[in-house]
A and B are shown apart, each in its own frame.
Chain A
Amino acid sequence: MNRKRIWVLLAVIALLVAACGSSDDSGGTTTTAGTETTAMTETTAATTTSSGGAETTAAAMEAPASILLGAVVPQTGPFAGGGAQVMRGYQYAVDAINAAGGVYVAEYDKSLPLELILRDDESDPNKTTSIMEDLAGQGITVYLGGFASPLHAAGTAVAEKNQIPYLGVATALQALHEQGYQYYFSPFPKSPDIAKSVFEMLNTLLPEGGRPTKVGIFQEATDWGEELGALWEEEAAKQGYEIVLHETYAPGSEDFTDIILKAQAAGVEALLSLPTPPDGFNIYKQMGELGWKPPFNLVVRAADVPTWNDLGDVGDGVVLSAGWHPDLGYPGIDALNQRHIAEEGRPADPVVGGAYSLVQIVADSIERAGTLDHQAVRDAIAATDLDTVAGHITFRADGTSPIDNPLMQRQGDKVVLIWPQVAGAGEFIYPAN
């Protein structure tokens, strides 16, 4: 091959790679605000006070046409399934709040609609950060996060730098709350909650002697994987379980045969994992091909997406920990659930409720703050004391929230709430195989 041809070939490859994976691309943008879709400003200068009829000076302040919520959510890539639920939750809440008249902001003496700016980070944490920098320049009041800890881990640092409040669900990484961040709030169960609740649930719902005591862990080689893997080990020992296998794999691996066979050989009765959706599908598909499935399976994150049902029998009976369920009975769930059933043909997916609650928290905080100032809104969020579709929300100093960690089980085409055993909870089916 002569040199000129090599250069041309190289140029074509370079262009393809650059076009597909540029390091700082911004994803697609969608803005939705019910009736208003632009960020134009308008003035309230002509209004008069009700008491005296004199023109107020405060009313001369320009009010934005809407309150901008900057949401960076994976719409493509491995986390797209979870991202779709997050987007639905945000959109439903924005629509509901706007339909009720919007959010009253005292400094403008008027109610403003919420406007959701949705951007796709393609499940790439490096794009999350660059898109968040873009959004900061657009005058957003808060950031709303996407799905999965790697994306939140990247985004929260940008929020802290820009000193703009950031709210996120579908992230259990406790370590993020130990960084001293002041602008990050996450009313979602964290790794210690997940590690504890699974063994509590087993000990409560199954009789002694009938429990799966030999535990296996499939841990991905990520920060969250390391955190939860260690906590599972710790909690298992405390609650009378034996860890017989703890295997680590790189995210994006395609062949899990080796660790599956090791788990089978070790006699694993309870398999705990936290894979990305593609990895989770591969693991369980290959377990099906190998004809092995333990009696108890906890699949955090991957099993949250509705397409998990496509796995058939091998995916059935899997327990998931997605932070919310429509049968929890909190106020507002019915309306949310009815819309979800009407549009999607099934009860609300597990992440939808948590995402919905974030917008409720933002609206309430802005009303209490009476301004769109970032610091004031941040302080109001920290002081939240609100009933939402995800339960009663308050925040600890580290931005976490003292909330239950509901566990669900996939039973056929349904996702059944099995823990805690509240009024709407169903029966836990064990063994799953």
Chain B
Amino acid sequence: MSRSTPPIVGWLVVLAITIALGLFTGNERLLTLAIQTYTLAALATSWNILGGFAGQVSLGHAAFFGLGALLTRELWLGGRPLPLAILIALVVTAATAAVVGVPMLRFRGIYFSVGTLALGVAVFITAGNLRPGISSLPAEALRAYEFQGRYYTALGVVAVTVAISAWLRRSKTGLGMMAVREDEEAASATGVNSFAHKMAAFVISATLAALAGAVFGYFSVSYYPQFPFSVTWTFDAITVVFVGGVGTIIGPLVGAVFYVVGRDLLSSTFPEVQVIVFGVLFILVVLLLPGGFVEGGHRVFAALSRRGTAQPTGSRAEGERETMEGKESV
């Protein structure tokens, strides 16, 4: 059995469970939690391509999430079929990212972060000025609201996002992004076009963020259009990536499950102090597991392997090795 077989089996099992969840449960609360988890997982995965693979720490990611939500929602509520609305939203977002990326990617390091933060805040304020009113589904649509279609849309989006992320990580383009992340000058010296790779990461990341936004726009009953442009979404995504594991494929998924489910459990058990408890939990995770849950899992797996008979210590899942912090801790 090849080393990649267990992960594939694992992915299939997870996929089967998530598909079955939509088929066999009518529990709206559970489906809502699942859709929220998938949306955040897709958003975090998209940020991970730019921040984790290419090492460009964007703080304005919500601008693209919000753009995807806004365009999809307005086109869909305007009478376009949902797939067409999403497609248009993705094309417009990709074009916008390509235009915005030219000046933004001239900045490096902290300047890039501050520049994208400024962009995000500017777009947030503009969205509020242009669309001050609430966006609610029409009354008929509200009374006929159904979860299953939305659940599978969200599941499909997170599957596509993860598949693209996994493919990218193994592709030549992805390797170029990681080379740029590790040392931009050295990568350029070896023939890697660093600007082109950063631009590719920026555009792909923004487009996938818009895809996650499309799910938000389709799922939400009622919200102010400015909301998905809020910087909160960017930091939620970053938190999820950190907790799960920066630069990994499954890190954002694990982080999103922990984040959404943990927050929900705490809000029902410790409603008054849930924010503090959740904050402390996060700090503990970051302090004790610098590479996130994925790194923690590797450590446990490695320890168990050492106790076992023949397993070498390097039995961590292939493809989860090259995390930025994880590399240092190996």
| A-facing residues in B229-267 (Cβ within 8 Å) | 230-233, 235-236, 238-239, 242, 246, 259-260, 263-264, 267
Q: Any chain B CB within 8 A of the CB of A244?
A: no
Contact A6 B57 (CB under 8 A): yes
Please give me the residue from chain A that is nearest to B130 by CB atom: A221
Of the listed stretches A25-33, A187-195, A198-206, A208-216, name the one at the interface; the rest are far from the partner chain.
A25-33
CA of A11 to CA of B233 in the docked complex: distance in angstroms? 14
Q: Any chain B CB within 8 A of the CB of A125?
A: yes
Q: Any chain A CB within 8 A of the CB of B318?
A: no
Please give me the residue from chain A that is nearest to B286 by CB atom: A11
Contact B29 A250 (CB under 8 A): no
Count: A-B pairs, CB below 8 Å:
151
Q: Any chain B CB within 8 A of the CB of A24?
A: yes
Q: A19-B278, A25-B263, A154-B224 are in contact. Are A125 and B239 (CB under 8 A)?
A: no
CA of A24 to CA of B32 in the docked complex: distance in angstroms? 11
Quick one: which of A23, A26, A125 contacts B267, CB cutoff 8 A?
A26
Q: A15-B282, A158-B221, A250-B125 are in contact. Are A3 and B324 (CB under 8 A)?
A: yes
Quick one: which of A23, A163, A221 contacts B128, CB cutoff 8 A?
A221
CA of A350 to CA of B190 in the docked complex: distance in angstroms? 73
Residues of chain A with a CB closer than 8 A to B145's CB = 161
Quick one: which of A17, A126, A181 contacts B227, CB cutoff 8 A?
A126
Q: Mark A153-189, 1 if CB is under 8 A from B, else 0.
A: 1111110110100000000000100011110000000
Contact B235 A150 (CB under 8 A): no
Residues of chain B with a CB closer than 8 A to A4's CB = 325, 328
Q: Any chain B CB within 8 A of the CB of A347?
A: no
Contact A23 B222 (CB under 8 A): no
Contact A137 B279 (CB under 8 A): no
Quick one: which of A6, A19, A161 contacts B221, CB cutoff 8 A?
A161
Quick one: which of A14, A25, A28, A158 contacts B235, CB cutoff 8 A?
A14
Q: Any chain B CB within 8 A of the CB of A223?
A: yes
Contact A250 B129 (CB under 8 A): yes
Residues of chain B with a CB closer than 8 A to A315's CB = none
Contact B125 A15 (CB under 8 A): no
Q: Any chain B CB within 8 A of the CB of A13?
A: yes
CA of A21 to CA of B227 in the docked complex: distance in angstroms? 12
Quick one: which of B29, B125, B132 contacts A225, CB cutoff 8 A?
B132
Contact A181 B139 (CB under 8 A): yes
Residues of chain B with a CB closer than 8 A to A342's CB = none
B57 CB to nearest A CB, Å: 6
Quick one: which of B110, B137, B236 contacts A22, CB cutoff 8 A?
B236
CA of A425 to CA of B129 in the docked complex: distance in angstroms? 41
Q: Any chain B CB within 8 A of the CB of A42?
A: no
Contact B138 A180 (CB under 8 A): yes
Contact B324 A163 (CB under 8 A): no
| A-facing residues in B124-146 (Cβ within 8 Å) | 125, 128-129, 132-134, 136-140, 142-143, 145
Contact B242 A126 (CB under 8 A): no
Contact A19 B223 (CB under 8 A): no
**Interface, chain B (partner A; CB < 8 A):** 28-29, 32, 36, 55, 57, 109-110, 113, 125, 128-129, 132-134, 136-140, 142-143, 145, 220-224, 227, 230-233, 235-236, 238-239, 242, 246, 259-260, 263-264, 267-268, 271-272, 274-276, 278-279, 282-283, 286, 324-325, 328
**Interchain residue pairs A-B with the least CB separation, the first 5:** A157-B222, A223-B133, A19-B279, A180-B139, A17-B235
| 16 contacting pairs across A/B (C-beta < 8 A) | A6-B110, A13-B235, A14-B235, A18-B235, A18-B259, A22-B263, A22-B275, A26-B271, A153-B133, A154-B134, A157-B136, A157-B222, A181-B139, A182-B139, A221-B128, A223-B133
**Interface, chain A (partner B; CB < 8 A):** 1, 3-4, 6-7, 10-11, 13-29, 125-126, 129, 133-134, 137, 150, 153-158, 160-161, 163, 175, 179-182, 221-223, 225-226, 250
